[in-house]
């Protein structure tokens, strides 16, 4: 059980780095273009999310779950897990941007609130799926 807590803690550390990458790139794209709503926002959220998950793949394999990188075995499950996460991410951001439009007039702030909910949901999904599907860890290998 103690090893599971260590693994979860490492996942959180990697996740914080991924959030920084995701939000940093999203902010850079929004600020560079002045776009903070509509279809371009979804595109920006997708790009920033994809870059962050590539970082997560490397660090979660090597450090969090301490498995060798094996793209032949891990790539398809990883891509499928991330496609579901991408769908969750984009659906939550898009839906909350519309729902919060009347309550939060600043579109940049609205993006960050929506993104916070998206991050919480995608992090939960990806941890469980990564732990038990993508980076299956055998007992006693931590």
Task: Work out the pLDDT band at 142, boundaries 50, 70, 90.
Answer: very low
Q: Write out pLDDT tens, residues 21-71.
A: 999 999 999 999 999 888 998 899 889 988 998 898 899 989 998 888 888
Report the Cα 116 to chain-centroid distance in Å: 11
Helix-strand-coil split of the chain, %, nearest 5: 80, 0, 20
Number of H helices, E strands in the chain: 4, 0
Percent of the chain surpassing pLDDT 70 = 95
Res 75: pLDDT: 82
Using only C-alpha atoms, what is the Rg of the chain?
Answer: 16
Q: Choose among 85, 60, 84: nearest CA to 74.
A: 60
Instruction: Inform me whether the pLDDT recorded for 139 exceeds 80.
Output: no
Task: Work out the pLDDT band at 8, boundaries 50, 70, 90.
Answer: confident
Question: Whole-number mean pLDDT of the chain?
Answer: 89
CA 103, CA 83: separation in Å to the nearest integer? 30
> Who wins on pLDDT, 45 or 137?
45
The mean pLDDT of 114-134, rounded to a whole number, is 91
Res 49: pLDDT: 85
Task: Work out the pLDDT band at 91, boundaries 50, 70, 90.
Answer: very high
Q: Choose among 43, 52, 128, 57: nearest CA to 90.
A: 43
Percent of the chain surpassing pLDDT 90 = 48
Res 16: pLDDT: 94
């Amino acid at each position: 059980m103690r090893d599971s807590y260590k693994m979860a803690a490492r996942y959180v550390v990697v996740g914080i780095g991924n959030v920084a990458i995701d939000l940093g790139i999203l902010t850079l794209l929004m600020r560079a273009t002045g776009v903070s709503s509509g279809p371009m926002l979804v595109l920006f959220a997708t790009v920033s999310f994809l870059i962050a998950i590539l970082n997560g793949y490397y660090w979660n394999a090597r450090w969090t779950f301490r498995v060798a990188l094996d793209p032949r075995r891990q790539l398809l499950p990883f891509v499928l897990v991330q496609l579901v996460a991408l769908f969750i991410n984009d659906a939550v951001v898009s839906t909350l941007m519309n729902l919060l439009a009347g309550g939060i007039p600043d579109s940049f702030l609205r993006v960050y609130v929506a993104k916070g909910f998206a991050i919480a949901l995608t992090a939960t999904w990806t941890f469980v799926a990564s732990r038990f599907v993508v980076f299956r860890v055998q007992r006693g290998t931590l």
